[in-house]
Amino acid sequence: MGQIIINGLVRFNTLDGTLLSLDNSMDMVTLNHVNSDLLLLLIKHNGVPLSRETILNELWEKRGLSSSSNNLNSYISLLRKALVRCGCEGLISTIPKYGFLFEAEIVFDDAALSPQPKKVESETLAHLPGNKIINSVTHSFGRGKLKIVLAMLALLLMVFSPDIYDYLRLKSIRTKLFNIEQCQFYLADEKTKRQDTTSTVNTIKSMAEKANMDCKHTANVYFFSDTYRDASGRVSRENLLAYCPYTGNAACENFFKVEYEK
């Protein structure tokens, strides 16, 4: 991560172009990518006058873009205001009929962005290490890629939201108990879910065998069970096993059994 501390007051994040006051006295300032690149260029040439032509060439012409001296003045003005908001005033001086001079105490947190030897800094921009520009382009590319990823995620969410909703809804309604070949057995009411699982499984297997269910084809099977006591004290147990095939339009087969306890 490219972190640069300016005058011990401001942390400049070269990845997202943000300026953050170290004592948190100011809100974060986000620079647009031109101003972010401009500040990085000035920092790289800390204490060395930069001509307008050099800046225009580095920030625009080398990228196949065009700009004017007036545009550069606007960006310099915006950058000065942003730095002033962070408590760094007078870092950029105008050199009449030449260009600009950036002077500040710079500390590089990131080894990749560590300052070049002074002799290199004093060279013209045409001989600047290429990794600076590559970094800048990589940052823009990274932001673009993030947007594409976010857009894809949003699209996936739109497409699959009904399925996700259905999945969660079904999960809240039914509980899978076990499989027999292609049949998946579920419990779908709270009374049955509270009953002893072993006894429930045995009852289901017994009923499924008696009903001669076809589990060679995919089907969902639902089981419900309840016990009733009438006014005379007689207890009855009602079991319902419903076999619903996946394929075709075959109706669910409901096997209903009522037994009275003796």
**Interface residues with other proteins (CB under 8 A)?**
30, 32, 154, 157-158, 161-162, 165-166, 169-170, 173-174, 188-189, 211, 220, 222, 224, 226, 240, 242, 244, 246, 249-260
Give the CA count within 13 Å in the CB-facing half-sphere of 24. 0
- Cross-strand pairs, 18: 13, 30
Q: How far apart are CA 223 and CA 212, in angstroms?
A: 15
**Nearer Cβ to other proteins, position 35 or 54?**
35
DSSP letter string over 40-78? HHHHHTTTS-EEHHHHHHHHTGGGT----HHHHHHHHHH
Phi, psi of 64 (to 5 degrees): 75, 20
DSSP, collapsed to helix, strand or coil, labels residue 228 as: strand
CB of 81 to other proteins, least distance (A): 14
**Nearer Cβ to other proteins, position 134 or 173?**
173
**Nearer Cβ to other proteins, position 26 or 101?**
26
CB of 133 to other proteins, least distance (A): 21
CB of 13 to other proteins, least distance (A): 15
CB of 249 to other proteins, least distance (A): 7
CB of 52 to other proteins, least distance (A): 23
**Nearer Cβ to other proteins, position 52 or 80?**
80
CB of 103 to other proteins, least distance (A): 28
DSSP, collapsed to helix, strand or coil, labels residue 101 as: strand
8 within 8 A of 105, measured Cβ to Cβ = yes
Angle at 192 between CA 189 and CA 198, to 5 degrees: 140
**Nearer Cβ to other proteins, position 29 or 92?**
29
**Nearer Cβ to other proteins, position 120 or 258?**
258
Q: How far apart are CA 11 and CA 4, in angstroms?
A: 6
